[in-house]
Amino acid sequence: MKVIDLLKPNAIALNFNTDSKEALYDKLIDLQSKAGNISDKAQYKKDLFLRDEEGPTAIGDGVAIPHAKSAAVKNPGLAAVTVPKGIDLDAMDGGKSNLIFMIAAPKSGGDVHLEVLSRLTVMLMDEKFRQKLLSATSAKEFLKYIDEKEIEKYGNEQRKEKTQASSSTSKGIKIVAVTACPTGIAHTFMAAEALEQKAKEMGVEIKVETNGSGGTKNALTSRDIADADGVIIAADKNVEMARFDGKHIVQTTVSNGIHKPEALIEKIVNGTAGVYSHTGGAETTSEGGDGVGHSVYKHLMNGVSHMLPFVVGGGILIALAFLLDDYSIDPSNFGMNTPVAAFFKTVGGVAFNFMLPILAGFIAMSISDRPGLAVGFVGGALAVAGTTFASLMNPDVNVVSAGFLGALFAGFVGGYLTLGLEKLCSKLPESLEGIKPVLIYPLIGILVMGLIMFLFNPIIGGLNTLLNSGLKAMNGASKIVLGLVLGGMMSIDMGGPFNKAAYVFGTASIAEGNYDIMAAVMVGGMVPPLVIALCTTFFKNRFTPSERKSGAVNYIMGLCFISEGAIPYAAADPLRVIPSCIVGSAVSGALSMAFGCTLMAPHGGIFVFPVVGNVLGYIAALVIGSVVGALLLAFLKKPLGEKAGLVKKGDKVTVK
C-alpha cells in the first residue's frame, strides 16, 4: 500500500483560504466524506477536537496533520488542503500552517495504513518536497509529487527495521531511542525520522523503536540496549523503562524529538546525560519535563481515572437498590428490604468500597511503578478503616475513617515511600535482585505504611470529620453559594485543572455521603455545550454556517456530560463564550443545591437521571442554567453582519 492509495483526487483542495480553524476542519471533513472515508461527520469532528486537546497537531515548518482514531471512520484515508496565506493552528514553532493533511484512522481493526501514514509524515520533513506540494496546480500534480517522493525515499518496499548511520561513518557512539505519542499516528514516526537523520549527519549510530498505534516497530533487543552508550526517550506517554536500568538517559517530549534531535544526541555524545536507576529512581536528564505541580496532577488523575469505574458502577447499582426497594417495610434497612434491592445494594456496595484503596494504589503506582501498587492500596484500605494505635490497645475507642483525604495521603506517601525503599535497596547484592519486588518492597513498604497510617489516621480523620461536618451543616444560602462556585468552576477551562478540581471534590463528596455536591458538579459540566447548542439554534445570525451546523452536536455532548464540546467555540471567542458558560453553569449548580438534588454517580449525564434525587428539580436547574447562558451569549455576541460592518435592508446587504 502506498500513500496515494489513501489520498484520492477528490480529497484534495488547493488554494483554500480561511482564518478559521473550524472552517478548515469542516472543509477537510467534507473531503473525507466525499472520498467515502467517514460515515458520521459530526462524530469525526468531535473526535478531532478531543484529540487536539492532547496537544497541537501543527508540527511546524508550515505543516499540520490533524488526526483522530474514530468510530466514524469507515476506511482509513487522507484529505489534503493547501492554504497559501497560512492559518494559525498553534504550531510548535509559532508559525502559520499552509500544508494540512487530515488523517482518518479507524477506531479498531487493521493497522496496515498506519505504516503508510507514518511515511507521509516523514516525507513532509523535506522542505523541497513541501514547496513542490504548495506549488501544485492540480490534484493530479499534487499526487504525482507525493508518489515520486515516496519511490525516491522508500522504493517499492515497506519501511524496514534498520539502524541509521553506517559503521564506516560512525564515531563509535551507539544510541538507542524510543518515540511515542498519545495516538501513535504522526508525531511518533516524525520524531524517529528526525533522530535518525540527525544521527546520520553527526556520524552516530542509532536505532529507534516506535510505539505507534500499530504496535511496537523496530523493537529494541537486550543486545541493542546493552551495546548502547545512551538512551533517548522522546515520548508523551508511558514507556517500559525497566530495561534501561543503569543506562545514560535523556527523557523529553516527542515534540523535542522532532525539533531538537541534535541537542538530545549531543547530551549522550558529551556524556552529560544522567544515569537511570529503575530500582532507585531516575537521575535522568530531562528536556522540558514535568514540573512539580503537573507531576502531582498527573499522579492524582491516574488514581482518579482508575477509581471512577468503581464509583460509577457501584454508585448506580446502590442508587437502583433504593429505587427498587420498599421504604415502608423497614425504614432503618432501606435498600435491603427486598431480595432484588438487596442484590443491587450488595454488589454495588462491594464495588463502591474498592474506590478509595484503588485511588491510593494507582496514585502510588503512578509515582513508583508496580512496586508501589500494593503499598498504596493497603494504605488506602487503612485510611478507610481509620484504625489507630489507640484503637488497637482499646477496642472501645471510637474509630473515624480518614476517608478521601486519607486515601490521597496514602497514595502519595506510598509512592514516594516505595521510591525511597528502591533507593535504599539499590546497594544490595545482585543475587537479591529477584526478591526485591516480590518480598522486600511489599513487606517493608506495607509495614511502614501501616505505621504511618496508624499514626496519621486520627489527624486526617479529624480533618475529614471537620470538613464533612462543615459541608453537612451548610444550608440555605451557604449551600447555594457552594453549588454556584462548583458549577462555575466546571466551565472555567472545560476539562482543565479548574474543571478537574471541582470534579475531584465532587467524587470525594460521594465517598463521604454528600451526594448533593456531585449533583451540582455534574449539572454545571453539562451546561457549556447546551449553551452553545441553544445559542446556535435560536440566534443563528451570531454564527457562521459551519458553526451552526456543528452546534446541534452539542445537544448530545451536553446531555452526555461532555463539557469539552464547547471548547472549539470558546477557543474562537473566549471573551464572550467562557463568561456566558460560567454564568450558566453557576446558575445550574446553585439551583441544584437549592432544589436539594442528589447524585451518587460521578458521570453519565442524562443516562443517570433515573437515580438522581429530585430529578424534576435537576432538569429544571439544567434547563434554566443553559437558557441563561445562551441568552447571555446571544447578548454579548453581535450578529455577524454588524461585526462585519454590514446592515441588512430587506433582502440586500449594504456596507455602512
Neighbours of 158 (CB within 10 A): 12
**Helices 574-594 & 477-492 angle (0-180, nearest 10):** 150
Query: What gap in Å lies between CA 118 and CA 191, rounded to an integer?
Result: 11
181 is catalytic: yes
| Strand pairing class (97-106; 63-64) | parallel
Name the amino acid, one letter, at 538. Answer: F
Asked if 256 and 166 touch (Cβ cutoff 8 Å), the reply is no
What residues are paired with 179 via a beta bridge?
Answer: 210, 234
Largest separation between any pair of C-alpha atoms in the chain: 89
Query: What gap in Å lies between CA 281 and CA 628, rounded to an integer?
Result: 52
Instruction: Look at residue 634 and give its three-state secondary structure.
Output: helix
Neighbours of 54 (CB within 10 A): 12
Asked if 265 and 204 touch (Cβ cutoff 8 Å), the reply is yes
Asked if 123 and 150 touch (Cβ cutoff 8 Å), the reply is yes
Asked if 66 and 28 touch (Cβ cutoff 8 Å), the reply is yes
Q: Phi first, then psi: what are they for 211, rounded to 5°?
A: -105, 85
Single out the catalytic residue among 113, 181, 535, 581. Answer: 181
CA 420 to each of CA 142, 370, 426, 441, 447: distance values in angstroms, whole numbers, following the listed order: 58, 14, 10, 10, 14
Query: What gap in Å lies between CA 254 and CA 182, rounded to an integer?
Result: 10
- DSSP 8-state symbol, 432: G
Q: Which of 308, 338, 314, 316 is nearest to 326 (CA)?
A: 338
Instruction: Look at residue 625 and give its three-state secondary structure.
Output: helix
Residue 215 corresponds to which cell in the numbers above?
504496535
| Residue with cell string 489534503 | 80
Query: What gap in Å lies between CA 48 and CA 28, rounded to an integer?
Result: 11
The dihedral region occupied by 172, where left means phi > 0, alpha psi between -120 and 50, and beta the remainder, is: left
| Residue with cell string 532507585 | 280
End-to-end Cα separation, the chain, in angstroms: 56
Single out the catalytic residue among 67, 113, 259, 603. Answer: 67
Return the C-alpha torsion angle 337, 339, 341, 344, nearest 10.
Answer: 140
Asked if 416 and 367 touch (Cβ cutoff 8 Å), the reply is yes
**Helices 477-492 & 515-538 angle (0-180, nearest 10):** 50
Q: Phi first, then psi: what are they for 391, rounded to 5°?
A: -70, -25
Q: In the chain, helix, strand, coil percent, each to 5? A: 60, 15, 25
CA 542 to each of CA 17, 18, 538: distance values in angstroms, whole numbers, following the listed order: 22, 18, 10
Q: What is the number of alpha carbons within 13 Å of residue 641 lying toward its C-beta?
A: 13
Instruction: Look at residue 600 and give its three-state secondary structure.
Output: coil
Asked if 553 and 45 touch (Cβ cutoff 8 Å), the reply is yes
425 is catalytic: no
Asked if 8 and 119 touch (Cβ cutoff 8 Å), the reply is no
Q: Which of 287, 280, 246, 243 is nearest to 265 (CA)?
A: 287
Residues classed as catalytic: 67, 181
